[in-house]
Amino acid sequence: MGSLLVVTGPPGAGKSTVARLLAEGAERSVLVEGDSFFGFLANGAVDPWLPASRDQNEVVTTASAAAAAAFARGGYTTVFDGMIGRRRRHHRRGRGGRHRLAAPVGMTHAVRRRRGGTGCGCPGP
């Protein structure tokens, strides 16, 4: 069983940069970019910020979460990069699995963690 790290936050906060650094720091890793799942909608897509997109966004979020979970179950260190709904912003631990919920952090902090976590005051990777 691998692990799942969720990097979430508002647009422009640095999620993608931090997620990429974290994924690059693991020997066997997958980077699941949640926003890319909106690109799978072939017809009838609603802009995800509109109120009418609620059901669509739920389906897309569920699909991206299922993909991330499958990679983690397959033994990969899986980094999920994306926004998640308010109701989903809680920490869950799957059966026998590990995952963490992370907020975007400054680049210096992310690089320190990638290099071993020393001097940043946070738990190791």
Domains of the chain, each with CATH number or no CATH? 3-114 (3.40.50.300)
Q: How far apart are CA 89 and CA 43, in angstroms?
A: 29
Q: Please report the pLDDT score of residue 66 as a whole number.
A: 93
The label of the residue with tokens 């590990």 reads 98
pLDDT given at position 40: 97
Give the closest residue to 30 by CA, choosing from 66, 80, 73, 86. 80
Query: What is the structure's pLDDT at 111?
Result: 54
pLDDT value at residue 84? 73
pLDDT in the model for residue 89: 39
Determine the pLDDT at residue 1.
Answer: 81
For residue 122, what pLDDT is reported? Answer: 52
For residue 123 the two structure tokens come to 């738990």
The pair phi, psi for residue 31, each rounded to 5°, is -110, 115
pLDDT (tens digit, 0 to 9) for every residue of the chain, 125 residues total? 889 999 988 878 888 999 999 999 999 999 999 999 999 999 999 999 899 999 999 999 999 999 999 999 999 999 999 877 654 433 344 444 454 555 444 555 555 555 565 554 555 44
- Distance between CA atoms of residues 2 and 78, nearest Å: 7
Handedness of CA 92, 98, 104, 109 (dihedral sign): positive
Q: What's the one-letter identity of residue 28?
A: R
Residue in 52, 58, 116 with CA at minimum distance from that of residue 85:
58
With beta carbons less than 8 A apart as the criterion, state whether 111 and 122 touch.
no
Tell me the CA distances in angstroms from 42 to 24, 29, 39, 66, 90, one per residue in order.
31, 28, 7, 20, 31
